[in-house]
Amino acid sequence: MKKLFERIKKMSKRKKVQTVIALALTVALCFAIPAFSWFNNQKKIAEIAKIKAPDELYINAAHKEDVINLDMSSINVSQKIPNTNTPITSQSFVFSVSGEWVNSFTLQIEHTTNNPYTYTFYEGVIYESESAMRAAHSDCDTRNADGSLKYVEYVATNVYDSEEMSKITTWPDDGLTITTGQRIFIWIGDEIKNMKNQTGGYLNKATGQRYSDGSTLTPKSYESGTVKDKYADPVYWQLKNIKGGDTKGQPFYKTYVIKASWTGISDVAEDYNKETDIFYISAFVE
Amino acid sequence: MSERSVNENNKLWEAAERVAEKVVAAKKAESEEERRKQKKRIVKLVLLMTLIALIIVFASIAWFAQNKAVSANTMAVSAAPSPFELETVGYANNDYIDLFNMADPEYEEGEQQGSTSAYRTGTAQQIRWRLDSDDDDSYTEGFRPGASGSLTFKVVPKGVDSVTVNCKFNIRAFVGNYNDTTGDLESIDEVTSATTDNDQKDACNYINGHILFFQNKTTVSGNDIYSGYIGTNGLNVTATGGNTQTVTVYWKWVNTFDQMILKSTDSYNDYPLIADSGGTAQQDRDALIAYIKANYSKIFSGLSSEDQTSISSITYDNLKNSALLGALCDAYNAADQIIGVNLDYFMLELTADVGTSSNN
């Protein structure tokens, strides 16, 4: 053994390197055989799926105020443009979607069809005063073809849902200073579009038809799959992939406008006075 | 006479010294030569050993590979005969395959069995689980707390002998990278020990702790009741006499912590997972309590140090009406929240190894 060490010591550097490499290769190859066999006795099988993000999204009234302030209980179908006899055939309501940051979310609106309203959904922009809105839009006094204004007024309450707001403590600055009782103005923008520039649509109602198709989603709404009153069978409007927050990781809120429109019912408004619809708005992450 | 003899003597001494020096030099040269020869012998020996080792290795690989025609790159790993294969039956749509390709492209389709929807591992080491309608019924809108499912696979022995394999489950977690404008998924990053975001690493830990596996599921009054808890040692499956063994495993992401422990007769119960009594109920409940004690850092988030200490002595009886139960439920929910906020995808991976594992 001593002699072997002496011989190794006396070897030239080049020979030492060669010897070490040769030995290392030999050892590695000796290990390789059992390792191959071990791998060979192991098999794997796997499934992959998406994890649903917690729904920390909330439906609020305008300016992310408590949803109790979103009042759709009185749609006045007898309105007329002031000082004229021209009827106004739509009424708009403002709501917002707020919450912790999400990349995208789905907005779904479900309602019954007892009243013959057509609902359309728009993006809204908040202005803290009329003058701010007029500064941004020169056509504030031009009415839509249905006689309605291009904006909605809302009186701020500064009442927030304490549970929701306690979860979200760091709202990004929206640049607005709004005090209780202040009249704010929501400009009605384009129809809501998603990140693929698509607009929403009804899942179980053909365009132009008032009520549910009675088959697509009815079995999910009613266990038996049959419903006597077709107007009580809810219809679902949906748009997926709506852009969430602008800044990753930051809470956000977005303002939307629901416009209920009607045609030719002003004269018989009393016929509908007793009719009620159930209207759900939900926002969730898929 | 005497002077001459002194001179002669000196000369003679000098001559003798020269001869001695020559002899010493010759001896030195000889030993140098010998040493060189020895070195050569060592190098030759090492080279010979390497050559023999190489011959043995290549001979083995050639023998392994002789009945399969595969590429040289993979033959060493995939062509060797395995005592078993795994089989999965069902569908795999393009979105599912795309996800796999982004998450771990090593997962292959496997070998289709005739024109059926059954696929086997074949020469592949790892294949994608195919799904059937039961697999994702409970999480069509995404995988979340409360989600459950079943996964069926088959252990197919390659010969006529019985094969026992140990199946262990592992959850891998991923974070998606989405296009800012279109929102489309562009790539997936796995959360590993090298991940810098600690919340993501915590979430990966928690998702591994929150999903439980069972051998059986029954429905009682509309609620799912599980039995045969599969612990961290996995499930041993024996395919006897060369026959295919079909195994169904039921997994559950428990919605609230108390579901893991409580009985339907307890005040704060919320659809318990395990039957109150009978069958393996007692054994499963004990096993779950042991699991919670050993893995509490994978199950709860934000527990106080006192509560962490208390966990070591929990039993069903001392937990069911305790203040600790409330704290644990909150900490369980907090961990769920971290999973949901930080992770986008999960991979449920089954690893089957020949042999058994104890405590099962």
> What pLDDT is stored for residue A225 in this prediction?
65
pLDDT value of residue B13: 86
Asked if residue A182 is part of any domain, the answer here is yes
Residues facing B171 on adjacent strands:
B348
> Least CA distance to B34: which residue of chain A?
A7
Tokens of B95: 């979105």
Instruction: Enumerate the residues of chain A whose CB falls inside 8 A of the CB of residue B128.
Output: 45-47
How many domains is chain A built from?
2
* pLDDT given at position B75: 38
Q: What residues of chain A have any CB closer than 8 angstroms to a CB in chain B?
A: 7, 10-11, 15, 18-19, 22-23, 25-26, 29-30, 32-33, 36-37, 39-54, 100, 103-104, 194-196, 241, 243, 284-286
What DSSP line would sit under A160-178, residue for residue?
--HHHHHH---PPP-S---
Same-domain check for residues A196 and A118? yes
Domain for residue A50, yes or no?
Answer: no
| Tokens encoding A58 | 């909330």
Write down the pLDDT at residue A266.
Answer: 56
| Minimum-distance CB partner of A29 among B53, B80, B172 | B53
Query: Is residue A128 located within the same domain as residue A61?
Result: yes
- ipTM over 0.90 threshold: no
Q: Are residues A35 and A77 in the same domain?
A: no
Contact B183 A100 (CB under 8 A): no
Within a domain: A51: no
Give the structural domain span for A11.
Answer: 2-40
Nearest CA in chain A to B172: A48
pLDDT value for B287? 95
Q: How far is CA A117 from the centre of its chain?
A: 23
Tell me whether residue A49 is in a domain: no
pLDDT at A201: 95
Region of residue B355 (left: phi > 0; alpha: psi -120 to 50; beta: else): left
Cβ contact A49–B49 (<8 Å): no
**Collapsed DSSP state (helix, strand, coil) of residue B91:** strand
- CB of A119 closer than 8 Å to CB of A179: no
Q: Which of A107, A123, A129, A233 is nearest to A178 (CA)?
A: A129
To the nearest 10°, report the CA torsion of A217, A222, A223, A229: -120
- B172 forms beta bridges with B347
Owner of token pair 């024996």: B238
Partner residue opposite B46 with nearest CB, options A23, A44, A195:
A23
- Same domain as A97, residue A22: no
- Give the span between the Cα atoms of A206 and A191, in whole angstroms: 19
The pTM assigned to this predicted structure is 0.65
Does A52 fall in a domain? no
Q: What is the pLDDT of residue B174?
A: 95
Chain B residues within 8 A of A44 when measuring between CB atoms: 86, 107, 125-127, 349-352
Q: What residues in chain A have per-residue pLDDT under 70? A: 1, 29-40, 225, 265-273
Are A69 and A19 within one domain?
no
Q: Tell me the chain A residues in contact with residue B84 when contact means C-beta distances shorter than 8 Å.
A: 43
Q: Token pair of B111, please?
A: 């070998």
Which is it for strands A90-99 and A57-61: parallel, antiparallel or unpaired? antiparallel
The crossing angle, in degrees rounded to 10, of helices B323-342 and B198-210 is 120
Residue A172 lies in a domain: yes
Biggest CA–CA distance in chain B, Å, is 139
Q: Is A28 in the same domain as A62?
A: no
CB contact (8 A) between residue A48 and residue B99: yes
The two counts, helices (H) then strands (E), for chain A are 6, 11
Residue A47 lies in a domain: no
**Non-local CB neighbours of B277 within 8 Å, separated by 6+ positions:** B263
Q: Are residues A188 and A158 in the same domain?
A: yes
Same domain, A29 and A62: no
Q: Are β-strands B148-157 and B211-220 bridged in parallel, bridged antiparallel, or unpaired?
A: unpaired
Count of beta carbons in the 10 Å neighbourhood of residue B52: 11
| Residue B93: DSSP 8-state | -
Q: How far apart are CA B263 and CA B189, in angstroms?
A: 40
Question: What DSSP designation does A239 have?
Answer: E
Residues in chain B, pLDDT under 50: 1, 63, 65-80, 137, 359-360
pLDDT of residue B72: 40
Q: Residue A163: count other Cβ atoms within 10 Å of its Cβ.
A: 8
A184 within some domain? yes
Residue A199, pLDDT score: 95
Q: Which of B250, B251, B252, B247 is nearest to B88 (CA)?
A: B247
Question: What's residue A1's pLDDT?
Answer: 66
Of the candidates B281, B289, B297, B357, the one whose C-alpha atom is nearest the C-alpha of residue B317 is: B289
State whether A8 and A120 are in the same domain.
no
